[in-house]
Amino acid sequence: MAGRIFILSVVALCILFFLDRDQQPLVHPPGVMVAEKPVQVDLQPSFFMLDDYQLTRRARFEIRARVLSIEPYYIKRESDLSPLDLALGWGVMSDQAVLDQIDISQSGRWYHTRYQLPPPAPEQQISASSSNMHMIPATRAIGRKLKDLRVGDIIKLDGLLVDVDHDSGWFWRTSMSREDTGAGACEIVFVESLSIE
């Protein structure tokens, strides 16, 4: 009996979680909502420990962006540190008129865009004005804020770009450029502050 109650409780919590995450995206008027690019200041590498992980500071990182997509993760080692990814956009990728013509999705720690040709903006601008970012909350309060975000939110985020290493030999490396694409192009962000506009 106790096992059945436990299973029902877990199912109920999962349903509540996904219902909460199934909020309608925020829709904005056409036009660029975030004109500025992310700000990155490279650092001399130095490290700090987070549980069993060594995090190496690679850069100070500040971004104001539109939330394009949110994807939670629960399995694999990465989810211990980074429970969710945010696909973020600025410039043309914060413009509702452009985004209305792009199908955005995330899976397997990747971010995908699909659109009919011709693209709604130059393809180089689409890729250089958006990124999938792995979020490592610095505190539980920031972790809760991350989970409360909605697609369409305009956010301001400050923190660090970090590399991650573990004694087991496992490692995770951050991108240091917004211009790259493909494997290794995601930023790993240690989030120290987060606000919603």
Domains and CATH numbers, the chain: 26-196 (2.40.50.140)
- Rounded-to-integer distance, Cα 11 and Cα 54, Å: 35
Burial class (CB in 10 A: 0-12, 13-18, 19+), 86: buried
Region 67-78 average pLDDT = 91
pLDDT of residue 53: 95
pLDDT digits (tens, 9 = 90+) for 111-143: 999 999 999 999 999 999 999 999 999 999 999
Q: 186 φ, ψ to 5°?
A: -90, 145
Q: 130 φ, ψ to 5°?
A: -155, 160
Nearest to 137 by CA among 129, 148, 146: 146
Q: Reduced to 3 states, what is the DSSP secondary structure of residue 68?
A: strand
Q: How many CA atoms lie less than 13 Å away from 181 in the CB half-sphere?
A: 10
Is the pLDDT assigned to residue 71 strictly greater than 50?
yes
